Structure formats: structure tokens, C-alpha cells
Amino acid sequence: MTDPVDTRIFADGADLESIVALRSDPLISGFTTNPTLMRSAGLTDYEHFARSLLEAVDQHPVSLEVCADEPEEIRRQAARLAGWGSNVFVKVPITTTTGESLTPVVKDLASEGVKVNVTAIFTTAQVEQSVIALDNGLSSFVSVFAGRIADAGVDPVPIVAQSVRLANSCNGPEVIWASPREVLNLVQAQSVGCHVITMTVDLLKKVPLLGKDLGDFSRETVEMFYRDAQAAGLRI
């Protein structure tokens, strides 16, 4: 078992107002986003959003993802994104949409000084490939999609634990517990020594519940049900 650590929290989202509100929050150590979050936020101008984000956040690491599937275009976009700020980590998927490994691209980018966040990782084999590609001392991340692994009915904790061991065995990447579903995931991440966990704004609102007395929590839940029944005018 890996020694527990104080897992850092990266806020995950694409709402600039929320990001600005969180940039001075001592709980937050970085920011991540992706094209799906951008689409959900109604964004269409990637560069404008990214540059505005980086203008607002210049101290914390910011992960920005490429929007390409061909290796050469990924390289071009990665170089461009990296040029927008010294705190940018370029998110490169572990594979193309056809399953072709992108670790050669990751290795090339890292050797060129691009800080990489390998994303959409689901297996320890993918972690091992990424760790080897990033073993050059440059700050980097590997994002294990633990929440989606759990969605498949698989316990992500052993996978993240092994990922941490693989990452700690070399000189470079840190492991991110990505796509968490509940605050319990933060506790689980800490228990296996995971370096970072991403959290959406909605999930961050639940972090203060950590350690809450369950008896009090039960009573407050009953109060909520009663209050809402009265407010709705429900009768039986």
C-alpha cells in the first residue's frame, strides 16, 4: 500500500466565472478542462477562452486539451497550446479514436519541453506506457479516469494505486484521479497516495461535508424532507 498523501485538488470545468472565483481558493491547486466541458459551456472560440483563463490564472497549472486525432496535428496543436503560457499542461489522449497509441507523440513532445497531461487513461498498461514516455524529469501528469472505470463496474482504487507506484518509480509524472463521482473519491485518492484529483464546481461544494457527523447529517436530511413537503403543500 502506498503511503497516504495530501492529494491536491484541481478544479475541472469550462466556466470562466467559476474559474476566476476559485483561483484564490486555498483548496485549489490547479485547473483542468476538456472539449466536452467547453461544448457544454457553449464555448466556440477556444483561443479566446484559453487566453482569458490563462490571464486570470497565472500561478496554478492549467491543463488544456488538443482537439485533433492525427499525430502530426496533435503535435502542432500541442506546441501552440504550450506557447500560450508557462503554466500550460497539454492534454494528449492516450490513443487516437481508432486505438493507435499516442505515447510516441507524448515522448516527442516531452523531449521538446512541452509539459504533457496524458488523458483518457483506463488501464495500468496505459499508465506504464505513459510513464516510460514521460520519464525525463519534466513536470507532467497521467490522468486515470477512475470515475468512468467505476461506471464500468470495476473498482478503480487498485488501478490508481498501481498507477501511483508506476509513476513514483520514475522521474517525472504525477497521477491524477480524473472524473470523480463523489467526495469519497478524494478520501480514496489520498489513501493510495494519488497526487491530484480533479473536481467539478458541484463536487467541490460537497467537500466541506468531509468528516460530518452522520447523526447530524441524518437529522438534517429528515428536516429537508419535511421542509420541502410543507413548502410544496403535499397532503396525504
Q: d(Cα 126, Cα 163) in Å, to the nearest integer? A: 9
Helix (H, G, I), strand (E, B) or coil at 86: coil
Closest CA to 60 of 126, 99, 12, 94: 12
Query: Residue 82: which H helix or E strand, with range?
Result: helix 71-82
Helix (H, G, I), strand (E, B) or coil at 176: strand
Closest CA to 142 of 178, 169, 108: 178
Closest CA to 30 of 117, 134, 136: 117
Let me know if 91 is a catalytic residue: yes
Helix (H, G, I), strand (E, B) or coil at 116: strand
Is residue 220 within 8 Å of residue 30, measured between CB atoms? Answer: no
Q: What are the strands, taking DSSP E only, across the chain?
A: 8-12, 28-32, 62-65, 88-93, 116-121, 140-144, 173-177, 196-199
Q: Cβ-count burial of 35 within 10 angstroms (0-12 exposed, 13-18 middle, 19+ buried)?
A: middle
The neighbouring-strand residues paired with 143 are 176
Q: d(Cα 119, Cα 141) in Å, to the nearest integer? A: 8
What residues are annotated to the active site? 91
